[in-house]
Homo-oligomer: A and B are copies of this chain.
Amino acid sequence: MTTAREIHLTRYPEGKPTLDIFETVERDLPAPKEGEVLAETLYLSVDPYMRGRMRPDVKSYIPPFALDEPLDGGAVGRVLESKVDGFAPGDLVVAQGGLGWRSHGVVPAGALRKIDPSLAPPSAFLGVLGMPGLTAWAGLTQLIRPKAGETLYVSGAAGAVGSLVCQLGKQKGLRVIGSAGTKEKRDWLVREARCDAAVGYKEHDAASLTTALRDLAPKGIDGYFENVGGMQLEAVLNCINDRGRIALCGLISQYNATEAPAGPSNFANLLTRQVLMEGFIVTRFMDRTEEFLSEVAPLVAAGRVKHEETVYEGLDRAPAAFVGLFEGTNTGKMVVKVAE
């Protein structure tokens, strides 16, 4: 009999999530049945999209989390017991569900993928080689489709997704400008991620950011990878070139909003400049995982792509890690280390 420690949601947050809506619960797990494995969690992922699952009343692309049940998400684990062909005790796996926010889980085969630890450390499969990596690759290569010499602006550029977008953009010969909330992150973007420029947003409104972007992107902006929303989108719409492309990946600035924020007031620029804007969810590109890995894994293995991590230690710190996402306490991928 294995006892799992799980983080449950005790009520839905209003506005920014706080630590007191989470609790840790112990639960005895059943033995795995045919087609399942029992695994222990090594690292779990906390991601901004999870905030969207903490709204019981909003129809979204995935169902809301249930109260008094374990939260869920991506996790890397080690197989302890297997009733699935091809998975043996000791194998390292990434689980899309069934292992997140808990110390142990019984996971169905369909949610499992074996990982190759020779490519990168295990936690990288939650970040640069996991869903955030696929998100970055798909938004840039499938939606923005940049041409060498174009200018790319990335909001939330020091995050798990944004930092890979910036680096893939540089690999493709783009001028890349990233935004981040602290000087430390902006220094990292220029020094490590090789961005041509980095810009803050906390000290700007839409008008002053517009002025700043006109300096940093003298030929205008061709592609915008949007992780944040709000006034950054408005500033970009002032600077975007004809036939510009916007990949709408995240709007973290408004995930905690209690009232619907107004859209950009210069919305009409989408029309006059013939801009293409497309929202996307990474699950749409799951069938491109091999193509993504074949492009990005060698860059990671060769050290040509930097992938920062912010690691919170211990399952009990998962709520703090999650809350930290909305305070920008992470550079790169936010993960929680649950076991060695």
CB within 8 A of A274: which of B263, B268, B280? B280
Within 8 A of B (CB), among A38-53: 52
- A60 vs B242: C-alpha distance when bound (angstroms): 10
Contacts A61-B242, A242-B61, A263-B262 given: A278-B268 contact, CB under 8 Å?
Answer: no
| Shortest beta-carbon distance from A62 to chain B in Å | 10
| Shortest beta-carbon distance from A221 to chain B in Å | 14
- Say yes or no for A66: interface residue by CB 8 A criterion: no
Contacts A263-B262, A263-B264, A265-B263 given: A278-B279 contact, CB under 8 Å?
Answer: no
> CB-nearest residue of chain B relative to A260?
B265
Q: Type the 1/0 row for A241-267, where 1 means its CB is closer than 8 Å to any CB of B.
A: 010000011110010000011111111
> CB-nearest residue of chain B relative to A58?
B272
B272 touches A266 (CB 8 A): no
Residues in B with CB closer than 8 Å to A284 are: 274
Within 8 A of B (CB), among A190-215: none
B280 touches A278 (CB 8 A): no
Residues in B with CB closer than 8 Å to A273 are: 61, 279
B271 touches A250 (CB 8 A): yes
Q: A interface, by DSSP: helix, strand, loop or mixed?
A: loop
A270 touches B277 (CB 8 A): yes
CB within 8 A of A251: which of B242, B248, B268, B275? B268
- Say yes or no for A229: interface residue by CB 8 A criterion: yes
A271 touches B242 (CB 8 A): no
- Say yes or no for A84: interface residue by CB 8 A criterion: no
| Shortest beta-carbon distance from A126 to chain B in Å | 22
A60 touches B272 (CB 8 A): yes
B242 touches A272 (CB 8 A): no
CB within 8 A of A271: which of B248, B266, B271, B274? B248
| Shortest beta-carbon distance from A268 to chain B in Å | 5
- A142 vs B32: C-alpha distance when bound (angstroms): 51
| Shortest beta-carbon distance from A249 to chain B in Å | 7
- Say yes or no for A281: interface residue by CB 8 A criterion: yes
- Say yes or no for A276: interface residue by CB 8 A criterion: yes
Residues in B with CB closer than 8 Å to A281 are: 271-272, 274
- A89 vs B249: C-alpha distance when bound (angstroms): 58
CB within 8 A of A276: which of B254, B262, B264, B278? B278
| Shortest beta-carbon distance from A60 to chain B in Å | 5
Within 8 A of B (CB), among A277-293: 277-281, 284
Contacts A262-B262, A279-B274 given: A268-B229 contact, CB under 8 Å?
Answer: yes
- A284 vs B274: C-alpha distance when bound (angstroms): 9
What would be 23 A-B contacts, judged by CB atoms less than 8 Å apart?
A52-B272, A60-B272, A61-B242, A61-B272, A61-B273, A229-B268, A248-B271, A251-B271, A261-B265, A262-B262, A262-B263, A262-B265, A263-B267, A264-B267, A270-B277, A270-B279, A271-B280, A271-B281, A272-B279, A274-B279, A276-B276, A276-B277, A277-B277
